[in-house]
Chains A and B, each alone.
Chain A
Amino acid sequence: MTRVFVPRDAAALALGADQVAAALAGHAAVTRTGSRGLFWLEPMIEVETPAGRIAYGPVAAHDVPGLLAAGLLDGAPHALRQGRPEELPFLASQTRFTFARCGIVDPLSLADYEAHGGLNGLRRALEIGPARTIEEVTKSGLRGRGGAGFPTGIKWKTTADAAGEQKYIVCNADEGDSGTYADRMLMEGDPFVLIEGMAITAIAVGASKGFVYTRSEYPHAIAALNAALAIARREGLLGADVLGSGHAFDIEQRAGAGAYVCGEETSLLESLEGKRGQVRAKPPLPAHRGLFGKPTVVNNLITLASVPFVLAEGAAAYHEIGYGRSRGTMPIQLAGNVKYAGLFEAGFGLTLGEIVQDIGGGTRSGRPVRAVQVGGPLGAYFPPALFDTPFDYEAFAAKDGLIGHGGVVVFDDTVDLAAQARFAMEFCSVESCGKCTPCRIGSVRGMEVIDRIMAGDRVDMHLDLLTDLCHTMKFGSLCALGGFIPYPVMSALTHFPEDFRAPQKVAAE
């Protein structure tokens, strides 16, 4: 029977992929995959033909009889036929290093993984040894993809050099930023790349145990990774003797429990230890005293999943792509009110305007873009006037913003930035761990002050007060939650001041 690939990514499921797979059963050999990340075409199914795979989308279950009658299994013409997926402009213009296999392979077939270049990175790491592995990652210029952008090789070296028999690798898969879904897609679409990346890390720094801390809001990703971990143990990729190398390494997945702040690395460690997810003061760095007080590498999932490419293809291949000090690729996640919403992995340096207008195609609603929030709930709202900003850690910081985990949330001209600023404070008040006062109390007071501004109550005085409060939170908070909430608030105030004056205008008329 002809092979047809149907995604099992949670987003594809939300759009009816299971029903499509059921309708195809008996007519084709259905293989479930991850998503290619073109969500306006999901569920996007692909038929294996002598001319390569041919994509159709978006396919609903009720389209299947018509598609079969039109010759779907031969890749025949149909209104939903998209052609060869790799030739679709959205995919053809990407540089897929980390997401090279996502949406293509069977996520739970280690043989498929190997057939598509998997395990080459780990084999090379075993061949060259820990010191040269760390050197390779350092030379690649890879930086932490969770948002902080800390050089990965330096973090690894610090942990490798720390004294201690027991060391840990912790993967931060607590992907809580709105507008981000890269971790989820990879866990569901290519979980072995994470396992391989963690194994390389473990052998490089001398760790025998790894944890993946996954948010509980991702039940499908949790199930997919657990299934992959079981296969990896059975096939000897994990366990007492990783690929026959003599190195012992195993991974355990732990589910979070709905606390956003547990995406902060020290809070995550507290949670893994079975405590309240309250932030720790640094130092000591987790690299010296991390999980259960032992030297620990805490890396974002995308950082760890980028490592196999670096080892397999070499540091230079990774480093030659990028912009300024931001080397390699970033999976940019287009979200919110955007026409072509999806995952776009590319070298750093595209401008925000290129991302939103050229790649994203503007808004889904068809109205003008008014604001773009980059980097999740702690990221700044940028107006189109800043669309010339290159996607790069330093360039965004220079404009009082951040790229975070790569989420780009687009809003049309119906957005009220005063309401968005209020939401930022509300979110912070709900999610604050409570350890430091600027975040715990400041967020509540911030919400109240914005309420008064929105009601037109002594606006100038309250705007000064809000600015002063943001300054206190930025410099007085213990972690990035309270420390970065001023970014969305102050960017809204700086770039969209008219939204904070609306009630007064109404009163004057």
Chain B
Amino acid sequence: MADYEPWNETRAADIIAAHAGQDGATIPILHAMQEAFGCVPTAAVPLIADALNFTRAEVHGIVSFYHDFRSHPPGRHVLKLCRAEACQALGAEALAAHVRNRLNVDWHGTTKGGGLTLEPVFCLGLCAIGPSALLDDKPLARLDPARIEAALEAAA
């Protein structure tokens, strides 16, 4: 669970300056933006473009290419539920249907009240103990409806 900062151009400029000396700084800058603001705000795009000698369109193309980067901050918690084959072999699809139904959100959606954002993920490397998920940075394993609800309640 993270407390995100409101948009602040000076803060964004500091983030860019801290990484601009790195070779291929784009992805590190985008990660740092998202860590600070919960997303890559649209207002950050021209700043990044100027600093890295890209056009705004190119930066937009980079941001939108990667699944990780959001345009709006997520809910207070993020649940990344694995949808890949090893978890499918242990019922991940039925589990995902249950979670979506229970929370009344689809993939990438945020619950009413902003408590939780549900994201699909294709493998967490917990393939021996599936179905698995990452709740914020906490790994969860051998999930079934009861276990996932207990984890969500404990976090709420």
Contact = CB atoms under 8 A, between A and B. Distances in A.
Interface of A: 10-11, 13-15, 39-40, 42, 175-181, 183-185, 216-221, 254-260, 271-278, 292, 333-338, 341-342, 364, 373, 376-377, 407, 409-412, 415, 420, 423, 427, 430-431, 433
A337 B130 CA distance: 8
Contacts of B66: 256-259, 277
B102 to A, nearest CB: 21
Contacts, number: 160
A335 B127 contact: yes
Given A14-B140, A257-B30, A427-B122, A39 B128 contact: yes
Contact of A254 (B28, B90, B126): B28
A220 to B, nearest CB: 8
Contacts of B27: 254-257, 271-272, 274
Interface of B: 23-28, 30-31, 52, 61-62, 65-69, 80, 84-90, 121-130, 132, 134, 137-142
A181 B128 contact: yes
Contacts of B80: 217
Given A254-B27, A423-B85, A337 B125 contact: no
B125 A175 contact: yes
Given A42-B129, A181-B128, A409-B89, A176 B137 contact: no
Interface residues of B, dominant DSSP:
loop
A261 B109 CA distance: 24
Contacts of A254: 24, 27-28
Contact of A217 (B86, B88, B125): B125
B26 A14 contact: no
B85 A217 contact: no
B141 A275 contact: no
A207 B145 CA distance: 51
A107 to B, nearest CB: 16
A341 B128 contact: yes
A256 B28 CA distance: 9
A217 B134 contact: yes
B123 A258 contact: no
A364 B142 CA distance: 12
Contacts of B88: 336, 420, 423
B128 A333 contact: yes
A10 B30 contact: no
Contacts of B85: 178-179, 336, 373, 376-377, 409, 420, 423
